[in-house]
Amino acid sequence: MLKRLNQTLSKLIDHELRTAQLLFLFLSVGFTAFTLFGDNLPVKGPLKHEWLNGIDALAATVILLGLLFLKPIQIRYQQCAYVFMYVMNFVNIYLLYGTSFHIQYAYQFIVAYTISGWFFRDKRNWLIHTAVMNFLLIFVILIAEKNTASSFDFYATYIVASFAQAILIHFRFSIEEKLSVSEKMYRLLAENSFDLICIHNADGSLEFVSPSIKRLLGYEPTELVGRKPYEFIHTDDRDIIRSLNLSKPNHPSIQHPSQYRLQHKNGSSVWVETIFIALEETDGVKGTVLSQSRDIRRSKAIQLQLEERTKELERSNADLETFAFVSSHDMQEPLRMISNYMQLLKKRYHGQLDKDADEYIEYANKGAVHLQQLIRDLLSYSRITRTELTRVSVNMNAAIDEVIKNIQIEIKEKNATVAREDLCSVEVDRNLLLLVIQNLILNGIKYNHSSNPEIKISCTKHDKETIFCFTDNGIGIKPEYQQRIFEPFHRLHTKAEISGTGLGLSISKKIIERLGGKIWMESEFEKGSKFFFSLPNS
């Protein structure tokens, strides 16, 4: 009940015209009652006491009728208050003269004069009123007959009251001036901001709309004040706004900007990005919401274009992968036949033809073998994204042992050694991980001029990921080539120097990225390399 009464009074006070109407109603009724039923003392001069009260009542009644029915008077309600204060204080000063500073009317004047000063909204009008009233009071003091000793009390009280009023009024105007400057600054920011700034009350209705609404949506601010934002939000995007919990400042739903479409006055749609802030009043009541919206039509158009191009690239990549897979698979059989017949030709006719013929057969045979390896690598590369991932717990120690067993011939040929620490287990696709391990070990052996190639494998487990390191004592890589070696078909050496297709590290990179990790390397030319890859922990 008290809360509802407080809200009603707050609304009444915030409406200044309604407050002025109510105040003058009380003044009209009060002074009319004093005129008819008051204790009217004899007053010197042509005016009777009840006439003086009647002047106050008449002034209050005339102003009240103007505030109720006349628009020009309603607009100038402050000036009407000033007029009444002059009339009331003139009457009180006349009463002081007419009653020879009777104690009742002396203090009545002090109270009325002190209170009336607080109704002035600017320093200039207050100073004029103060100067006029003090001039009339001094004039009356000079012409009035000497009254009782109580006049000293009146003068002392009046001086103290005037001095206190001057200090307090000056303090009030100083605060109001600072508030006015601050309000003007913030209003300039709001009214001249390129963004749309709105204030919503507890039920979502708009209390304030910045003038930028005209540029953004074609409306005048006054057309939208009092309306609900849902009325001009695109129907497909209203659920975005409904999902926001604006009553809680720290709710996750308003922690990030919201993107949606607003309806322009001409019927078109405008993409905006809005930040909502739930404000808390001084009494702890939540409900007022500040929103700041920015036109993102240009960036949204670019975003949509990028999304469309991304889809096109994904479709193109899928087509290329399918083509590579099908082509590589279909070429396997005829290439195997070519390779087999070239080997038969070499075996049967070697030494029977001239030297050039033997050389040509050898070139053709090597080319066929290389092409077979290239096709196998292409098939492996295209299968990485085509095959479904099967995540299982992989014991890395057992996985390393299996890879070493599979490449035992290459290890023995190069007199290489593979050492490892006690490695962590990971949950990944086992077959793909084995391929990465094999590529990294073979690279450490292949790109190595040492008489005893060494590969050391270690791991480090962190909170979110596990990092594996393959260290070799190979030829190393110059800094300018360290990022390019992960590109498909990129080779730093000729086939005559080191055999290969240039797809090993590309395949490894693609596998690691599909498993949710990343791969990188550190190297010092002629002193070896370190290849790292990370895998997320389950």
In this structure, the answer to whether residues 307 and 240 fall within a common structural domain is no
In this structure, the answer to whether residues 339 and 250 fall within a common structural domain is no
Q: What is the CATH number of the domain that holds 327?
A: 1.10.287
pLDDT in tens, 26-44: 888 888 888 888 777 777 7
Q: What pLDDT is stored for residue 457 in this prediction?
A: 92
Which of 538 and 527 is assigned the larger pLDDT? 527
- Domains held by the chain: number: 4
In this structure, the answer to whether residues 350 and 273 fall within a common structural domain is no
In this structure, the answer to whether residues 324 and 265 fall within a common structural domain is no
The b/e string for 351-386 (b: 16+ C-beta within 10 A; e otherwise) is: eeeeeeeeeebeebbeebeeebebbebbbbbbbbee
Q: What is the CATH number of the domain that holds 209?
A: 3.30.450.20
pLDDT in tens, 332-386: 667 677 777 777 777 777 777 777 777 777 777 766 666 666 666 656 655 666 6
- Look at the block and give the residue holding tokens 């099908």: 326
In this structure, the answer to whether residues 204 and 180 fall within a common structural domain is no
Which helix (H) or strand (E) segment holds residue 276: the answer is strand 269-280
Nearest-angstrom CA–CA distance, 490 and 508? 14
Which helix (H) or strand (E) segment holds residue 59: the answer is helix 49-69
Nearest-angstrom CA–CA distance, 460 and 468? 7
82 and 98 Cβ atoms separated by less than 8 Å: no
In this structure, the answer to whether residues 425 and 524 fall within a common structural domain is yes
In this structure, the answer to whether residues 402 and 347 fall within a common structural domain is no
Q: E strands of 156-221, at which residues?
A: 196-200, 206-209
- Look at the block and give the residue holding tokens 């802030």: 277
Which of 326 and 388 is assigned the larger pLDDT? 388
Where on the phi/psi map is residue 500: left (φ > 0), alpha (ψ -120 to 50), or beta? Answer: left
Q: What pLDDT is stored for residue 494 in this prediction?
A: 44
119 and 85 Cβ atoms separated by less than 8 Å: yes
Nearest-angstrom CA–CA distance, 189 and 202? 24
In this structure, the answer to whether residues 57 and 104 fall within a common structural domain is yes
Q: What is the CATH number of the domain that holds 411?
A: 3.30.565.10
In this structure, the answer to whether residues 154 and 275 fall within a common structural domain is no
Last-in-domain residue among 137, 165, 189? 189
Helices 355-386, 297-349: axis angle to 10 degrees equals: 140
Task: Count CB-CB contacts under 10 A for residue 488.
Answer: 15
Which of 416 and 285 is assigned the larger pLDDT? 416
Structure tokens at 1: 């009940």
In this structure, the answer to whether residues 401 and 261 fall within a common structural domain is no
* Cα atoms in the 13 Å half-sphere on the side-chain side of 369: 11
- What DSSP letter does each residue of 377-442 carry, written as one string? HHHHHHHHHHSPP-EEEE-HHHHHHHHHHHTHHHHHHHT-EEEE--PPPEEEEHHHHHHHHHHHHH
Nearest-angstrom CA–CA distance, 526 and 31? 108
Last-in-domain residue among 155, 189, 223? 189
Last-in-domain residue among 365, 383, 401? 383
| 30-44, 387-401, 405-419, 424-438: range with lowest mean pLDDT | 30-44
Nearest-angstrom CA–CA distance, 503 and 435? 12
Minimal CA–CA distance to 391: which of 442, 428, 426?
428
pLDDT in tens, 167-208: 888 888 888 888 878 777 777 777 777 888 888 887 778 888
385 and 429 Cβ atoms separated by less than 8 Å: no
395 and 427 Cβ atoms separated by less than 8 Å: no
Q: Could you give phi then psi for residue 536, rounded to 5 degrees?
A: -70, 145
For residues 231-248, average pLDDT: 77
Percentage of the chain surpassing pLDDT 70?
80
In this structure, the answer to whether residues 91 and 211 fall within a common structural domain is no
Q: What is the span of the domain harbouring residue 109? A: 2-189
What's this model's pTM, rounded to 2 decimal places?
Answer: 0.42
In this structure, the answer to whether residues 308 and 443 fall within a common structural domain is no
Per-residue pLDDT at 284 exceeds 60: no
- State how far Cα 524 lies from the chain centre: 45
Nearest-angstrom CA–CA distance, 472 and 440? 10
